[in-house]
């Protein structure tokens, strides 16, 4: 009989459990909670917060954020048997029923923490039937969640009046600190507010709240919950509460990540709170000092080169300034890059073996199929080294190098580096892109320079701390080309060094490049060392140009200031020369391997196995008569009375520059007029008009078209032909103007050696 009773009891229990499981499966309790989005720094500290979908400040707290002190206080006050009941406390229900029956009104409740969580998740009118529903849902919660998770629900949902829910929101908005830093007095104050949210509202009823807090502290002391000295200190602690604003740091990045992860309650960024706060203040103060110059905005991006973590993200000088577009994200705004792409161009040319740092480039006026670039200062420097051209950001040499490597090669590099606007514009881009004729963002530029900081290794930026650190990226340029480029960008004897002494006195050890867009609308300065890469943009979001705006004197001082704050004496050291970088003597006139003419030599660095091996040809032997008044070729060389002399082997464009500037140079004497030889190399280069161009002539005021060419050093005269008819004979550097016929026109130029060049143009009437 006894065993039968035991079996009956067991079957009853099993049946009850099965029934509960069936009910749980049939009527599941899985409410969807919407939390306010909180953006944290790399250590989990809240730096920005957004309201939830219900416009509530309900900030998610993890289990690890519930400190032992908070847990102990909450459980003692709300549900001392929390860890012992299955979600419902039968003894508390019986006690509450007896008290309420004898008093004739509701004097005592029996809700456990679990039942309160159910009520907070799904609020219902307080009736006995709804109480039964709460009991059932409380049992369901206990079936599916641990005690720690249920307590976490309570901590996240408990109301504090108005639209503030959860201890984390209350802690931040009332005390300005996370729950982990709350004292016993502060925790006690927060735990009693939900019982009387209107009568004990923090900020407006502080005196009443302090009295109620101390009453509960007295209970804690009576029950021996805490030591007497701990209670005494908490009772004496002043209660100064006021409603604070929610954290508002890094607004542009916060909005960006909120849009990217709309359902994430906590988005942990890679931002360094100290750097973010400091740089936001630096940018704001810097722009405030330049308001009178009509410069109203700036953006800054700071990247940790080792992890590619974005440690500071400042989209504008003042997010809350509606007049100057403060809410525009300058980190992602598409702007003209000015000269900031030149390091990538030269590094690509180093990798192609076209140039080395000492290679000579001609900084002289040039016409590239109708495109005639100028330098920023509108001056020309003649023959310069590659490193001088990059360090001084000269435009003409950069355009010539781009012409040599080809725009598709540079566009391919930029596409590989993730330049989205360049990818869209690719079909329309030409040589002007290297001077700012394309669209880029500060994010793209800074990431590109971070690749230089990482020895040519391009990796993705990390904004979310949960994203894994990318160990290996994509090589955008070689380590050797990066090293050569970095050495040039580290030089301080250059025009884009700020002229202000305060900026140069504490000059950080960095490599940097500046840029100023056409019309002086954008000022850029991007720099790096082994530890950080920093990108700075200064200008107006309206696109309004400012005469005083320049990368050197507007953006670079802010760059230096940020680097001095971040990493003035970097412990990382500087870059070491790769094994494949060699040194060799070159001729200073050409940058090529010395020949017999090169008496003076200098040391140049080069990439072994890649850099071109060219013999210097800056001079050549010429046969002349004894007086040096006439030159001979081997075809007309007389048997006697001849001398062999060395003459400069100048490029036609350099000769044209010397002639225009009236600079002296060594001319080769006129060739023997009796010679009948026809030369085939060194034909004149027609620079005007442009091959294949259309020219429109006004009917009432017909204008003339200029004819211009660049000829070799041994040319004394050139002959211009229009449709194969001789028009004029002139010195090679003299401009000629003609009235061309309508239609398709052939323009020819022949020099006195019989060498000839042709171009075709179309002339139309307007």
Mean pLDDT, to the nearest integer, of 114-138?
82
For residue 1, pLDDT over 90 is answered with no
Please identify which of the residues 52, 61, 65, 78 carries the catalytic annotation: 78
Q: What is the CB-side half-sphere exposure of residue 330 using CA atoms within 13 A? A: 30
Model confidence at 501, pLDDT cuts 50, 70, 90, reads very low
Distance CA(527)–CA(531), nearest Å, equals: 11
Distance CA(75)–CA(80), nearest Å, equals: 5
Q: Which residues is 757 bridged to in the sheet?
A: 749
DSSP per position, 296-325: -EEEEEEEETTTTEEEEEE-SS-TT-TTTT
Instruction: Kindly list the strands in the beta sheet with 522-528, ordered across the sheet, starting from the edge strand earlier in the chain.
Output: 309-314, 297-304, 532-539, 522-528, 511-516
Q: Say what the pLDDT of residue 517 is.
A: 93
Identify the weakest region by mean pLDDT among 89-98, 211-220, 370-379, 665-674: 89-98
Q: Contact, 590 vs 617, CB < 8 A?
A: yes
**Which of 535-539, 632-636, 638-642 ranks highest by mean pLDDT?**
535-539
Instruction: Please report where in the chains the tokens 């076209």 appear, as a residue.
Output: 354
Q: Say what the pLDDT of residue 529 is.
A: 94
Distant-in-sequence, close-in-space partners of 509: CB < 8 Å, separation ≥ 6: 490, 529, 570, 574
For residue 162, pLDDT over 70 is answered with yes
Distance CA(69)–CA(183), nearest Å, equals: 9
For residue 623, pLDDT over 90 is answered with no
Distance of CA 190 to the CA centre of its chain: 42
Mean pLDDT, to the nearest integer, of 147-158?
91
Distance CA(563)–CA(171), nearest Å, equals: 35
Q: Can you give the three-state secondary structure of 340-352, one letter per residue?
A: CCHHHHHHHHHHH
Identify the weakest region by mean pLDDT among 306-310, 369-373, 541-545, 613-617: 369-373
Here the tokens at position 640 are 């006697």
Q: Which residues is 758 bridged to in the sheet?
A: 748
Distance CA(450)–CA(462), nearest Å, equals: 12
DSSP per position, 240-291: ---PPPPPBSSHHHHHHHHHHSTT-SEEEB---HHHHHHHHHHHHHHHHTTG
Which SS3 state, helix, strand or coil, does residue 221 take?
Answer: helix
Q: Which residues is 644 bridged to in the sheet?
A: 623
Q: Which residues is 661 bridged to in the sheet?
A: none
Mean pLDDT, to the nearest integer, of 457-482?
94
For residue 252, pLDDT over 80 is answered with yes
User: Residue 9, Cβ neighbours under 10 Å: how many?
Assistant: 10
- Whether a cis peptide bond, with omega within 30° of 0, leads into 689 is yes
Active site annotation includes 103: no
Q: Contact, 277 vs 297, CB < 8 A?
A: no
Q: Contact, 138 vs 87, CB < 8 A?
A: yes
Q: Say what the pLDDT of residue 541 is.
A: 94
Q: Say what the pLDDT of residue 28 is.
A: 65
Q: Which residues is 526 bridged to in the sheet?
A: 513, 535
Share of the chain above pLDDT 90, in %: 52
For residue 105, pLDDT over 60 is answered with no
Q: Contact, 221 vs 235, CB < 8 A?
A: no
Classify residue 667 as exposed, middle or buried by CB count within 10 Å of its CB (0-12, 13-18, 19+).
middle
Active site annotation includes 78: yes
Q: Contact, 695 vs 704, CB < 8 A?
A: no
User: Residue 509, Cβ neighbours under 10 Å: how many?
Assistant: 15
First to last CA, the chain: 120
Identify the weakest region by mean pLDDT among 282-296, 332-346, 526-540, 614-628: 614-628
Nearest in space to 447 (alpha carbons), one of 552, 344, 550, 563 = 344
Here the tokens at position 118 are 């159910």
E strands within 74-183?
164-165
E strands within 123-192?
164-165
Distance CA(450)–CA(482), nearest Å, equals: 11
Identify the weakest region by mean pLDDT among 301-310, 468-477, 675-684, 715-724: 675-684
Model confidence at 42, pLDDT cuts 50, 70, 90, reads very high
- b (16+ CB within 10 A) / e for 177-192: ebbeebebbbbbbbbb
Please identify which of the residues 111, 254, 339, 631 carries the catalytic annotation: 339
Model confidence at 108, pLDDT cuts 50, 70, 90, reads very low
Nearest in space to 57 (alpha carbons), one of 205, 147, 166 = 166
Question: Measuring CA to CA, how many Å separate 660 from each of 371, 474, 664?
Answer: 19, 47, 11
Nearest in space to 291 (alpha carbons), one of 540, 560, 561, 543 = 540
Identify the weakest region by mean pLDDT among 107-121, 193-207, 621-635: 107-121
Q: Contact, 301 vs 412, CB < 8 A?
A: no
Q: Can you give the three-state secondary structure of 359-418, one letter per residue?
A: CEEEECCCCECCECCCCCCCCCCEEEEHHHHHHCCCHHHHHHHHHHHCHHHHHHHHHHCC
The tens digit of pLDDT for each residue in 415-439 reads 999 999 999 999 999 999 999 999 9
Nearest in space to 583 (alpha carbons), one of 614, 615, 607 = 607
Distant-in-sequence, close-in-space partners of 248: CB < 8 Å, separation ≥ 6: 48, 319
The tens digit of pLDDT for each residue in 725-762 reads 988 899 888 888 888 888 999 999 998 888 888 999 89
Q: Say what the pLDDT of residue 24 is.
A: 60
Distance CA(158)–CA(166), nearest Å, equals: 5
The tens digit of pLDDT for each residue in 565-581 reads 998 777 788 999 999 99
Classify residue 676 as exposed, middle or buried by CB count within 10 Å of its CB (0-12, 13-18, 19+).
exposed
Q: Say what the pLDDT of residue 632 is.
A: 84
Which SS3 state, helix, strand or coil, does residue 520 take?
Answer: coil
Q: Contact, 637 vs 675, CB < 8 A?
A: no
Please, what sign has the CA dihedral across residues 400, 401, 405, 409? negative
E strands within 587-735?
602-607, 619-625, 631-632, 642-648, 685-688, 694-697, 705-710, 718-722, 725-730
């Amino acid at each position: 009989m006894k065993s039968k009773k035991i079996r009956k009891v067991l079957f009853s229990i099993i049946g009850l459990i099965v029934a509960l499981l069936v009910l749980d499966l049939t009527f599941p309790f899985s409410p969807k909670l919407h939390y306010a989005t909180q953006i944290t720094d790399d250590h989990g500290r809240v730096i920005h917060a957004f309201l939830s979908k219900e416009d509530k400040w309900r900030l998610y707290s993890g289990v690890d954020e519930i400190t032992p002190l908070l847990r102990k206080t909450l459980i003692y006050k709300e549900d001392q048997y929390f860890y012992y009941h299955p979600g419902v406390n039968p003894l508390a229900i019986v006690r509450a029923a007896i008290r309420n029956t004898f008093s004739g009104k509701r004097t005592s409740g029996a809700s456990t923490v679990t039942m309160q969580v159910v009520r907070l998740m799904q609020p219902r009118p307080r009736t006995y039937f709804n109480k039964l529903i709460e009991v059932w849902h409380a049992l369901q919660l206990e079936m599916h969640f641990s005690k720690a998770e249920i307590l976490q629900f309570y901590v996240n949902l408990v109301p504090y009046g108005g639209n503030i829910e959860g201890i984390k929101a209350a802690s931040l908005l009332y005390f300005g600190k996370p729950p982990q830093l709350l004292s016993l007095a502060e925790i006690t104050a927060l735990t009693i507010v939900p019982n009387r949210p209107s009568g004990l509202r923090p900020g407006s009823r502080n005196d009443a709240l302090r009295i109620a807090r101390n009453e509960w502290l007295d209970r804690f002391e009576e029950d021996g919950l805490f030591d007497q000295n701990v209670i005494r200190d908490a009772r004496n602690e002043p209660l100064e509460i006021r409603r604070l604003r929610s954290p508002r740091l890094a607004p542009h990045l916060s909005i960006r990540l909120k849009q990217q992860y709309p359902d994430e309650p906590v988005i942990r960024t890679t931002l360094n709170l100290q750097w973010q706060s400091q740089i936001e203040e630096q940018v704001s103060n810097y722009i405030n000092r330049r308001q009178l110059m009509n410069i109203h905005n700036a953006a800054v991006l700071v990247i940790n080169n080792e992890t590619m973590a974005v440690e500071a993200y400042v989209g504008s000088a003042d997010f809350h300034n509606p007049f100057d577009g403060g809410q525009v994200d300058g980190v992602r705004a598409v702007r003209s890059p000015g000269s900031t792409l030149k390091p990538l161009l030269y590094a690509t040319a180093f990798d192609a073996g076209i140039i080395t740092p000492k290679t000579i480039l001609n900084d002289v006026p040039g016409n590239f199929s109708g495109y005639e670039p100028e330098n920023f200062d509108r001056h020309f420097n003649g023959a310069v080294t590659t490193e001088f051209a990059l360090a001084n950001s000269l435009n003409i040499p950069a355009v010539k190098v781009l012409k040599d490597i080809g725009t598709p090669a540079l566009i391919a590099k930029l596409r590989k580096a993730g330049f989205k606007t360049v990818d869209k514009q690719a079909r329309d881009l030409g040589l002007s892109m290297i001077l700012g004729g394309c669209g880029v963002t500060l994010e793209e530029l800074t990431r590109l320079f971070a690749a230089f900081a990482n020895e040519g290794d391009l990796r993705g930026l990390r904004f979310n701390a949960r994203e894994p650190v990318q160990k290996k990226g994509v090589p955008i340029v070689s380590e050797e080309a990066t090293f050569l480029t970095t050495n040039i960008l580290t030089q301080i004897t250059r025009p884009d060094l700020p002229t202000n002494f305060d900026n140069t006195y504490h000059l950080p050890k960095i490599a940097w490049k500046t840029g100023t867009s056409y019309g002086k609308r954008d000022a850029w300065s991007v720099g790096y060392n082994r530890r950080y890469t920093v990108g700075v943009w200064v200008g107006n979001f309206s696109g309004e140009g400012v005469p005083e705006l320049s990368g050197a004197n507007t953006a670079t001082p802010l760059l230096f200031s940020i680097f001095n704050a971040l990493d003035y004496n970097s412990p990382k050291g500087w870059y070491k020369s790769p094994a494949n970088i060699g040194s060799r003597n070159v001729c200073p006139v050409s940058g090529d391997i010395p020949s017999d003419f090169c008496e003076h030599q200098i040391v140049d660095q080069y990439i072994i196995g890649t850099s071109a091996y060219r013999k210097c040809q800056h001079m050549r032997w010429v046969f002349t008569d004894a007086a040096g008044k006439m030159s001979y070729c081997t075809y007309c060389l007389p048997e006697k009375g001849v001398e062999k002399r060395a003459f400069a082997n100048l490029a036609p464009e350099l000769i044209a520059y010397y002639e225009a500037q009236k600079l002296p140079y060594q001319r080769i004497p006129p060739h023997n007029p009796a010679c009948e030889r026809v030369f085939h190399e060194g034909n004149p280069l027609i620079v005007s008009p442009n091959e294949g161009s259309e020219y429109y002539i006004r009917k009432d005021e017909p204008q003339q078209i200029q004819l211009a060419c660049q000829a070799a050093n041994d040319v004394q005269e050139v002959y211009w032909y229009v449709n194969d008819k001789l028009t004029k004979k002139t010195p090679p550097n003299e401009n000629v103007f003609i009235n061309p016929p309508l239609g398709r026109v052939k323009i020819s130029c022949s020099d006195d050696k019989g060498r000839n060049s042709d171009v075709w143009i179309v002339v139309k009437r307007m």
